[in-house]
Each structure stands twice: as C-alpha cells, then as structure tokens.
Structure 1
Amino acid sequence: MPASSGQAPDLPVDQFDVWCPVPLRLHPAGGSAIDEPARRWAIRHGLCSPDSVLAHTDVGEFIAAGMPFITTDAARAMTCYAYWTFAWDDALDTLPGGLGKAVALTSEANRVLYEPVTHPVPANHFLSSLREVRHQLESCLHPDGWNIMRSEHAHWSGGQLWKAALQQRSTPPGLGEYLRMRWVKAGCGVLAAFTAPGAGYPMSPAELYDPVVRAFSHTVLLPCTIFNDLASVFKERAAGQAHVNLVSVLAAEHDLSTTEALIKAGELYERLVALMLRLQQQLLSDPRPAVARYARELPQWVAANLHWTATSLRFLALNRAGTTAKITIPTITTRDTPLLTDATDLTPPPYPDLAWLWQHLAE
C-alpha cells in the first residue's frame, strides 16, 4: 500500500496505492444536498463555527457515498448525527476537567437517548442538539432499528472514553486492546446498525448480530479504520497523539520502523478486504432477504472511506489555537488488485482479535 518515499524522515511515504474492489457510488440526492442542511444545523447548534474545519469537512459526502441506498430523510438525519459525533470527538480532546468531566458528560448524553423527552436536559449545546437529532433519527427508523442504533451509540460513547484513556498513557496499547477499542471508537457498530433500517428494511437483532453477519460487518468496517489510521497518523503526529494509532501500535508490538509498520498495516487492510469479498459471497445467497441485501450494500463504506479520506479537510488540515494548518498526506490512488498480499490466501493473521473473523468462512 505505501509506495515510494520522500515525505519526511519519520513518515517516508508520498503515495498510498490502495486496493478497492468496490465502485464508488453516491446517494441519488447528491452529497451537497445532504450535507448543506446538516452543516447549517450543526452551526446553528454551536457544534462548529462557519469558518471551522468541521464546517467544511463535507460530512454529507461521506454519508452519501457510504449509504447510497438509504432514504434522503435518513441520510440527512445521519449526517446531522455524524456532525454531532465529529464535534464530540474533537471536544473530548480539549474538554476542561479532563477524563472525569468527559465521563460525566458522556453519561448525560446517553441519558438523552434513553430517557423520555419530557425529562429536563442540562444547559449544554451537545445535549440539546443530541436530543434534536434523536428525534430526526427516530422519525426515519423502525422502532427496532432505533433501539439497536441507540444501543450502538452508547457503545460508541464508551469507545470515545476508552480512546481518551489510552491517550493519557505514555506508551502505545497492545495490538489486541487497540483493535478492540478502535472498532467501538470509530462507530463501526453504529454504521452497521443504521444501514438496513435507514434504507427501509430493518434487520432483527438476531440477523444483525448473527456471528457470520457480524464477522462480515467487521471485515467491511475494520479496513476503513485501518486506512483512516494510515492517513490520520500524519495529522496525529502534528498534534502529538500518534502513539494511539495502529501504525505506532504495530511498530511498538513488532519493533518496526514507521515504514515497516505502514506496510504491515496495509497488509492487514488487504487481508481483511479479501475476507470481506468471500464472506459477502456467502451472505448474498442467504435465505434471509434483509441479510442478503445488507451484504450487497454495506461494502460501499470501503469506497466511501477512501474517497472521503482523500478529499476531506478532516484529514488535510489541523485546527490549532484557532488557526488552520495544512497537513500533507500521501496522494491516494485506488487499484483493482491487492499490492501487498495474495487475495486467495485466506490464512488468518497471527492476532486473536482479528483471526476469529476467518473462522466464519464456509467449508
């Protein structure tokens, strides 16, 4: 995946050549039509200012490419929610009062999703805006879909605290803990939970959490987190947070140089994508219609993630003390075949927190 050198002594990469077997597809409404009302909503609620990086991150483009089959109302609601989660993620890094304050505010936020709307909400722009976006999400989801979504949000909020706790350590976590944290913190479960009900075909909990379906969901969304880490390490180095990144974790785990760790992360990405394609073929013939459709549609996140990472200010700029500094990340190009691995080699990697996924391949 990393190809050629010359970026900097510690990050010697000029280009990411990425295997993407999923064609990019946008929602019929278009990314800007989905993004603009959500962006205005986020500004109105004080989640970002009009001149901030977040306000120009094109979150709606990300949702439009990752979920091109959901309804337009669901896409706009999900984009408002995504703006909220990005603002929350950014705020936790600088929240006065440290981790204790973050835990308390997280508990208040989860209460907003679980308590009746008549209960009072403390005066806080995060809490008031979350209550409003809750109504938007509920209005476009089947009750079972909303209940699963709400549960996954609570799981995600715990992942945010997990990442914040790891940032307070002076050394990287082990690979196993990092992978467990990353799935939760990245909101992978939330995206998986929203895909079907947002498109009008709710999946039951038994279907969504079926072991093979869940393994498939991991093989779609974990590669997105891996590539996000590959691109984010450039920004995180500038912000002093790069020790909580897959590249740094792999380097510490195996005593690798940065370049070697980038390559190893790229290998994990490709092996997961190869497994995704095999599990997708299994599920496309599943007798449960919702499961088969989910297998067709969820992989759009792979293409969406690459597209958004290559173009969004979320990765290309760093906000620091009210100023915006440009971050140089490698050029991202896509290819039709793997670069670092053999797609037919379905041997599990030597990491228990990933190897379990390969157990769900059909004989």
Structure 2
Amino acid sequence: MSPLTDPPATTPTPRIPPLYAPIPPAVHPRHTAIDNRTAAWARRYGGGTRLSERLAEQDIGVFAARILPTGREDVAQLLGDFVLWLFLVDDGVIEEGELGRAPGALTAALQRLLWVAENPEAALLTDDPLAKGLRDLHARVARYGTAGQVTQWVNALREYALSVVWEAGHRLAGSVPDLEDYTLMRLYDGATTVVLPLLEMGYGYELSPQERAHPATRAAAQMASFIITWDNDLLSAHKEAQEAGRTGDYYLNVLRVLTHHHGLSLAQAVSTAIAQRDRVMVHFQRVCSALASQSGPQLRQYLDSLGHFVRASLDWGVSSHRYTTPHDPAGLPSTFAPMPTDARAEPLAISAISWWWDPHRLRLSPSARRSRQASGNSALLATSA
C-alpha cells in the first residue's frame, strides 16, 4: 500500500472520449413501469433519507430493464430494487458514512446484514430499513430462483462485503492499492457478481454446476465485471473528483491507481484504462462466441445476458443523473467509438487475470477453436503458438 496525498481543493476532471461499444443496446419494453416501481421501492425502504430520494431519480430501474431486455418483468423489477439497495449500502453506509473508514465496524455491520440475507427469519435488525429491504429482496429471490441460486446470491453478497471492507482499509490508511490488487478488489466491490444469479432467474433456468464452473464461463463473467467496473470508473470520475475537491474525502478508481503508481498524467491514465477495457472487450466477445458454439441454450442465454449487462452499464453510465451530474455537468460522451483502441490478443499485464487469454486453461473444444479460426477470429489461439 502506498499513501495518498490529500486531494487538491480543485480536483482535475478527466475528459472521457467515446467508448467502444460493439454490443447492441436493448431495453425491456416495460422499462418505464419498472423504473417507477423501483423509485417507489427506494422511498419505501430507504428510510425517507435524502439519499433514497436522490437514488429514486437515477433511472436505476431502467438500468435493470437494459440488463434483462427480454426477461421476466418481475425479475427485472427485483433486479432494479436490488441494485438500488446496493447503492443505499454503498453510498449511505460506506462512501458517505463513518463506517467507510472503520473496517472492523464495517465488517460487523455487513455481517449482520449477511446474516439477515441468509436467515431472514432471525429476529435481527428488525427496525433497520436496510434489513427490511433485504428481507423483501430475499423473499423475491427465493420466489423466482432455486435453492442453489439463493445460495449463490448470498455467497456473492459475502464476496462483495469482503471487498468493500478491503477498500475501507485503504480509505482508513489513505493509501492506494497497486493495479494487481485494485483489479481483484474491483471485480467484487463493483457489485457485479451479485447480479449474476438474477441473469438466470430472469429467463427461468439454472446453469448446471459444470456449466457455471467451466473455466471459459468463469472467465467470461469475470471479463464482464472488469469491463463494467472500468467503465464505471471512467464515467464516474468527474463525479468523484468534484466531490473530493469539495469535501476532501478519499476516493479511488483506476485512474488514481494509474496516476499514483505508474506516473501517468490524468489524460494518459484515461487512455490506458480505455485501452485495457477495449482489449478485454474484444477478447470477451471472442471467448463468448467460441464458448457459445459448443454450448446448450441455457449457457448461450447466460452469455448473451452477460453482454447485455456490459452494454446496460455503459448506456446507463452515460445517461443517468448519477454520473451526468446536471448541477455540474460531467460532459460524458454522447456517442460510441466504432473501433477499439487496443484489439491485441496478448494478455493484459495483470497476472491475476492473464489466464483469460490462455486457450488451454479455458478448455474450449478443438471444434470451437477451429470454428473461430475459420471465421477469421484466430486471435483466441494466438497465445498457444
């Protein structure tokens, strides 16, 4: 860990150019109704705070409707409400609350909520708005999911909790992790993995343990998380920098990691982060295409949903008031780039995730590999030479 200096009174705001978006946009036809109900859910379970009112105006239900554009409306509704609950925790408890600088106390608070998520019958936190909301979410997850999916959802919440406590340690110390550690932390504290069980519920299926544990499936899900969180870091950079400039609060994103540890200017950090997400985006599509060619309909639907999740995050990020900040316009891009800035087939220089580019570890069948080569996308095998 390396210490951070206090943010300057006026924190520089990066310019974010159009981002590469090869996945077509989509949205559930009932997105307006879903968003309205999610806003009402925020007011019901948000404790009547200014935060809940603010979140109610950030189109979080539309975000969920983009993730499940042809899925069950009731599950898209569940997803919108769940994402809003996560923001109540992230913004209210961690980012804007005292617990964000107290890893031990934060661990205890999150453990209580995790106990409620796993044991909603327990007489614990009975008057707490977050716990009440979590009990409502658990009941609906159990209604639309299998017992295995409920367990997967709770376990993903536990992963999220562990990562935000990790981040709280850096906030307390005023330190910044290196790129390796930041990548590992960000894949979970971005709360992307907690959404994955709902991708299955939205279309009424459950992946087999073999399908979910397949290295290529795991790599595809992790790559989706990487792209989503890197995009979020880029698109939220103005909001975070300006808030830090006003309050002096600690903030952390990939741009700060790159400037702090790699000596890059802010503009160079933006270019580097975009190149990283572009290279992963290109490879994500290669792996999903190759895996889909040897998979059944359920896994193909899952891979398709991962793609919708990636595009939904991008579309929501450039349009939601959460990041466009109308009171202090962020100047986010209104168009998308037609080509990636980096389409190389070599792994990123981050050892924890370099295995994503290893075709032998991904264990894709020879027929799937030949199919991709025949279509001109031979880069998937480039690292095996």
**Within-5 A mapping of 1:323-338:** 325-338=327-340
CA separation in 2, counterparts of 1:42 and 1:83?
A: 7
| Residue in structure 1 matching 2:203, options 186, 199, 203 | 199
Structure 1 residue 146, shift from structure 2 partner: 1.7
2:14–2:270 CA contact under 8 A, matched in 1 = no
Q: Secondary structure at the match of 2:216?
A: helix
CA separation in 1, counterparts of 2:267 and 2:189?
A: 25
* Identity score, percent: 24
Query: Structure 2: 5+ residue runs without aligned partners?
Result: 1-9, 365-380
Letter in 2 for 1:336: P
| Residue in structure 2 matching 1:281, options 280, 283, 289 | 289
Normalised by the length of structure 1, the TM-score is 0.88
| Residue in structure 2 matching 1:93, options 92, 95, 103 | 95
CA separation in 2, counterparts of 1:270 and 1:136?
A: 36
Structure 1 residue 161, shift from structure 2 partner: 1.9
What is the match of residue 256 of structure 1?
Answer: 264
CA separation in 2, counterparts of 1:9 and 1:159?
A: 26
Structure 1 residue 38, shift from structure 2 partner: 1.9
1:26–1:65 CA contact under 8 A, matched in 2 = yes
**Within-5 A mapping of 1:305-324:** 305-317=313-325
Q: Secondary structure at the match of 2:18?
A: strand
1:220–1:276 CA contact under 8 A, matched in 2 = yes
What is the match of residue 298 of structure 1?
Answer: 306
What is the match of residue 32 of structure 1?
Answer: 32
Query: Structure 1: 5+ residue runs without aligned partners?
Result: 1-7, 318-323
Segment of structure 1 superposing worse, 269-278 or 243-252? 243-252
Segment of structure 1 superposing worse, 118-127 or 260-269? 118-127
1:20–1:302 CA contact under 8 A, matched in 2 = no
What is the match of residue 57 of structure 2?
Answer: 56
Letter in 2 for 1:77: L
Q: Secondary structure at the match of 2:205?
A: coil
Structure 1 residue 227, shift from structure 2 partner: 1.0
**Within-5 A mapping of 1:1-363:** 10-13=12-15, 15-29=16-30, 31-47=31-47, 49=49, 52-91=53-92, 92-96=94-98, 98-99=101-102, 100-117=104-121, 119-240=123-244, 243-317=251-325, 325-338=327-340, 340-341=341-342, 343=343, 345-360=344-359, 362=364, 363=381
Q: Secondary structure at the match of 2:53?
A: coil
Structure 1 pair 296–135 and aligned structure 2 pair: CA distance change class (3 A): same
Structure 1 residue 142, shift from structure 2 partner: 2.1
Structure 1 pair 17–232 and aligned structure 2 pair: CA distance change class (3 A): same
Structure 1 pair 254–36 and aligned structure 2 pair: CA distance change class (3 A): same
Computed over aligned residues only, the root mean square deviation of the Cα atoms, in angstroms, reads 2.2
Structure 1 residue 53, shift from structure 2 partner: 2.1
2:324–2:332 CA contact under 8 A, matched in 1 = no
Between structures 1 and 2, the one with greater strand share: 1
Normalised by the length of structure 2, the TM-score is 0.83
1:53–1:313 CA contact under 8 A, matched in 2 = no
Q: Secondary structure at the match of 2:355?
A: helix
CA separation in 2, counterparts of 1:36 and 1:209?
A: 37
Give the paired residue count: 345
Segment of structure 1 superposing worse, 58-67 or 164-173? 164-173
Segment of structure 1 superposing worse, 202-211 or 107-116? 202-211
Q: Deviations over 1:233-260 (max 9, x none)?
A: 2111122256511011012221111110
Structure 1 pair 145–238 and aligned structure 2 pair: CA distance change class (3 A): same
1:152–1:189 CA contact under 8 A, matched in 2 = yes
